[in-house]
Structure 1
Amino acid sequence: MILSPSTTFQPVLERIATEIAQTPDRLVARRLHPGLTACAPRSFGMSVAALDGPAYGV
């Protein structure tokens, strides 16, 4: 993927968070890592920080 300086990650992070929220709990843990089955399924967050300063997160 080639990113331009004006690329914003916020819509991408929000789309991923929406997809994860709609996925059955057992599938989220199984897809990410089997050890996550012991964690609260809706305890989720992620962020991206660009080298030039902006940070985005959900």
Structure 2
Amino acid sequence: MDNYDDIINLPHHVSKRHPQMSMWNRAAQFAPFAAMTGYDEAIKKSQQKNEKLYETDKVEEWE
């Protein structure tokens, strides 16, 4: 802790110029984004195919 002894007990800075960001906006910065377009659709198609095979006991066809 020796490296941070000079700043460890300082109060949290609050800007006088800029209003604090709301928790909602702050969380939105870290929300996931669609980096791979079409991925969700491919997953849904695969899920539907697997569910259909499972329901009809045609698991052998999947393999």
Higher strand share: 1
* Both structures adopt the same fold (TM-score exceeding 0.5): no
- Structure with higher Rg: it is 2
Structure in which a larger fraction of residues adopt helix: 2
TM range (shorter): 0.3 to 0.5
Higher RCO, 1 vs 2 (CA within 8 Å, ≥6 residues apart) = 1
